Amino acid sequence: MNNSFDLNKILRPHILNLAPYSSARDEYTGHVGIFLDANENPYGSVTDQDFNRYPDPYQADIKRKLSPLKNVPTDQIFLGNGSDEPIDLLVRATCTPSKDRVIILPPTYGMYEVSASIHDVYIDKVPLSADYQIRVDAVLEAITPDTKIIFICTPNNPTGNVMEDSAIETILKNFNGLVVVDEAYVDFTDKPSWIDRLAEYPNLVVLQTFSKSWGLAGLRAGMCFASTELVRILNKIKAPYNISQPAQAALLAGLESADKMQEMVKEILEQRGVLCTMLEKLSLVNKVFPSDANFLLVKFDDAKSVMEYLLKETIIVRDRSKVLLCEGCLRITVGTREENETLVAALKAYEQRNVIV
């Protein structure tokens, strides 16, 4: 199979021809004037802040600041309500319910499957290898004429590892649908972003987020980088005002602090190494998997019991023991130095308690 990608061929026909909703802010994008066009409250809001006007539906100011940081033109940037919104919109734009298919590579981020299921889209699962890498031949064999999207998470959640470039390249070259590379954790690895290769592969879509390295999870803001044509389609089918005015203001302020983001990432990476070393010294830990993310996947002899104990100590980690290829594993986010030391102290106490018993 050779790639001859044509976006128009994978879009649902009615989406391609859709006349989008035209909001008041589509017709006038200025900031000065007497606004009598959108049925807003002219007297302000019930708070002491000016929330009575609708926000920019296309977040132009944010994209202008983001563009040089990511080295991507503004018309190739889509901003959504978290990364979950572009995931949902990509499925909605391309997949006909009860007909089309997507491919996911478990263990992986759960929203790919959820979004496909919501839209009644078939899901083909091609598990990763034992060392959590893409089984390229198996992925290519799973492709059908109705396959529209392949979702690849790198660094992967919950395993933490980066996928091999050669595997992703092969899929991009041999699949005529969208290859969505989810880089939510890219700032925690020294590997280059796939954003740099958007011009090379017209079927490449890259997702990133403000939730992790930027520390802005509460704003619910995600980034999608793709061809100009695909971004135009996403803008057609999104909700008119998908990112609120307070969130946009906070994002603009946050983008002025890229240096602080880098400082926090540096500290997280340092603590990741320290936490990994401390965990590896515990006898109840079977294995700490290598990580290029801000978390560690840790295999325990009795993950369920450890999880229950930590909850009693009000230390909350994520149980991944029922996830394919993650049996007996807990996913532990890298915390502050104090939080990591508290976690390890609790695990040592658990260890001692079981030795005494």
Establish if 1 belongs to a structural domain: no
CATH code assigned at 300: 3.90.1150.10
Instruction: Label residue 104 left, alpha or beta by phi (over 0 means left) and psi (-120 to 50 means alpha).
Output: beta
pLDDT > 70 in the chain, percent: 98
Please write the tens of the pLDDT for every residue from 240-253: 999 999 999 999 99
128 shares its domain with 149: yes
Inside any domain, residue 166: yes
Cα 76 to Cα 178: distance, rounded to the nearest angstrom = 15
Same domain, 168 and 59: yes
- Considering the domain architecture, whether residues 166 and 17 belong to the same structural domain is answered as yes
Return the pLDDT at 83.
95
- Does residue 30 lie within any of the structural domains? yes
Percent of the chain with pLDDT over 90: 86
Select from 241, 256, 271 the last residue of a domain: 256
Task: Kindly state whether residue 2 falls inside one of the protein's structural domains.
Answer: no
Whether the per-residue pLDDT at 1 is higher than 50: the answer is: no
Q: Within a domain: residue 76?
A: yes
91 lies in the same domain as 180: yes
* Same domain assignment for residues 105 and 206: yes
Tell me, yes or no, whether 111 lies in a domain.
Answer: yes
Check whether residue 125 and residue 221 sit in a common domain.
Answer: yes
d(CA 202, CA 178): 9
Lowest pLDDT segment from 26-35, 57-66, 206-215, 325-334: 26-35
**37 and 161: one domain?**
yes
Query: Global pTM?
Result: 0.94
Q: How far apart are CA 169 and CA 162, in angstroms?
A: 14
User: Do residue 204 and residue 238 come from a single domain?
Assistant: yes
Q: Indicate whether 209 and 288 sit together in one domain.
A: no
Nearest CA to 207 out of 307, 90, 86 is that of 86
User: Residues 271-294: pLDDT tens digits?
Assistant: 999 999 999 999 999 999 999 999
**Length of the chain as a residue count:** 357
Q: Among residues 193, 222, 256, which one ends one of the domains?
A: 256
Q: Is residue 276, in this structure, part of any structural domain at all?
A: yes
pLDDT given at position 2 = 53
Q: Which domain holds residue 211?
A: 7-256
Domain of 186: which CATH number? 3.40.640.10
Residue 297: its pLDDT value, please? Answer: 98
Same structural domain for residues 49 and 149?
A: yes
Averaged pLDDT of the chain: 94
Statement to judge: residues 204 and 273 lie in one domain: no
40-52 as b/e, with b when 16 or more CB fall inside 10 Å?
Answer: eeeeeeeeeeebe
Domain count across the chain: 2
DSSP category for residue 156: -
Looking at the structure, tell me whether residues 204 and 76 fall in a common domain: yes
Q: What is the pLDDT of residues 73-104, one digit of tens each?
A: 999 999 999 999 999 999 999 999 999 999 99
Domain boundary among the residues 256, 287, 302 is at 256
How confident is the model at residue 355, as a pLDDT?
58
